Structure 1
């Protein structure tokens, strides 16, 4: 691993204690709710916050023993922090200058990086003359021009509008693919994490609660936060064969398990009925509608009852069923679309 870190940061009423490992060329995204400790972890890696315990090893070097300015790190902040009085070229040249390069060499390196991020024609522009996407690329070029072994990205796309974000996300992915050091990305956006990261590390209350590839985490969430992040209903129960008891409700599931288990299913897999449906559909329960809201092209119906769940249906179905908050409704989900895995 390029990066191996055990980060312990003690604050009043909060403790961060996580292990983090990142391989050469790997992008790891830190995800978690507000206050989970993501940015604290990033700032500890950068040396902007002191460790209360643990260590940081980068390419075998104990990074935590080095002053911030001597760490081989590049960082892109959420608001980019470009120097307003400097041109784009000189903003990028600042990084190699800080590492001892001559002014001429630093400007040559900066010009090379601006060309690489597609901004050679904006070398003389001041930050106020740049769009949000252009400023983000200048900040990335400045971080990479320092020839870092560790690249830290703090919500690098958060300041962009939706259209620009789509374009810059793709460009950022290409630049990260060419970087042979370790990259740690903090983001609140699950799409940014899924597109940019090779591996996700989910932090809640200062501790790692789940990690894995984006596909692994999306398929098998282990906390309510992760389930909401990837858009799944999640419940914990006890499995016996192809059935899982969740509270007072018995779920039929696709997998065969024994013991503590999670049950997950998509809101799109939940069917709603005004009256009890004919026959004996698997996983049928009566619920109360807690709320109805627009969700993309569909409508999300929040249900309370023996379990709390969400159902995604079309606007036409809402009208046909004449759904209103407070109404009693029947809900079901097929066993083939109800997945269980060990808790």
Structure 2
């Protein structure tokens, strides 16, 4: 592993307890709600916050006892922190100068990096003359120009509008693919994490609750937070053969499992009825509409009852069923639309 770290920090009402390994060329995303400890972990790695316990090792050498400015680290902050009085070229050259490179050579290398990120024509522009996407690329060029062994990205796309974010996310992915050091990305945006990272580490309240590839995490969420991120209804119950009991609702599923298990299904898999449907459909329960909101091209119905659930239906279906908050409805999910796995 290029980076191995054991990060321990205790503050009033909060404790960070995180073990981290990142291979050369690998991008690991720290994902979690606000206050989970993501940025604290990044600051510990960068040396901006003092490590109370543990260690940080990079390329086999201890990093935690080195001064911040001596660490072979490049960092892109959420608000980029470009020097407002310097041009784009001199912002990129600044890091090189700090590492002992001469002025002329620093500017030459900075120009090369601006060319790599497509900003040759903006070399003389100051930050106030740059768009958000251009500023992000200058910050990335500045971080990479010093040839770091560890790249830290703190919400690098958060300040961008939706259109610019799409473009810059694609460009950033290409630059990260060319970087042979370890990369740690902090984000609360699941799409950024899924597109940019090779592996996700989900943190809640200072501790790891789930880790794995983006596909693994999306396929098998293990907490309500992760389920919301990937857009699934998630429940914990007791499975027996091809059934799982969740509170007072018994679900029939297609997978055979025994013991504590998770049950997940997409909101789009939930069908709603104003009256109990004819026949004896499985996975049927009565619920009350707790909320109605627009969700992309569909409408999301929030259901209260023996279990909490979200259902995504079309605006036409909402009008046809005349659904409003407070109404009682029947909800059902086909067994083939469910997924169960060990808890």
TM (normalized to structure 1)?
A: 0.99
Q: CA deviation at 1:96?
A: 1.1
Partner of 2:300: 300
Alignment of 1:3-152 (within 5 A): 3-152=3-152
Gaps of 5+ in 2: none
Say what the alpha-carbon RMSD is for the aligned residues: 0.6
Tell me, in whole angstroms, the C-alpha distance in 1 between the residues paired with 2:109 and 2:26.
24
> 2:175 maps to which residue?
175
Cα distance in 2 for partners of 1:177, 1:280 equals 53
Aligned to 1:208: 208
In structure 2, the residue matched to 1:187 is 187
Structure 1 stretches of 4+ moved >2 Å: none
Q: Helix, strand or coil for the counterpart of 2:176?
A: helix
Number of residue pairs matched by the alignment = 343
Name the counterpart of 1:277. 277
2:243 matched to 1:243?
Answer: yes
State the alpha-carbon separation in 2 of the partners of residues 157 and 273 from structure 1.
41
Displacement after TM superposition at 1:254 (Å): 2.0
Once the two structures are TM-superposed, the CA of residue 283 in structure 1 deviates from its matched residue by 0.5
Deviation at 1:10, TM superposition (A): 1.1
Point out where structure 1 has 5 or more consecutive residues left out of the alignment: none
Per-residue deviation, 1:13: 1.1
CA offsets per residue over residues 11-53 of structure 1, 9 Å max, x none?
1111000111111111111111110000000000000011110
Query: Can you list the C-alpha shifts for 1:293-325, whole angstroms capped at 9, x where unaligned?
Result: 000100000001111000000000000000010
TM-score (norm 2): 0.99
Q: What secondary structure is seen at the aligned counterpart in 2 of 1:218?
A: helix
Q: Deviations over 1:131-161 (max 9, x none)?
A: 1100000000000001100000000001011
C-alpha separation in 1, matches of 2:277 and 2:41: 51
The DSSP-based 3-state class of the residue aligned with 1:65 is: coil
SS in 1 for 2:64: helix
1:266 and 1:323 mapped to 2: Cα distance? Answer: 20
**1:218 lines up with 2:218 in the alignment:** yes
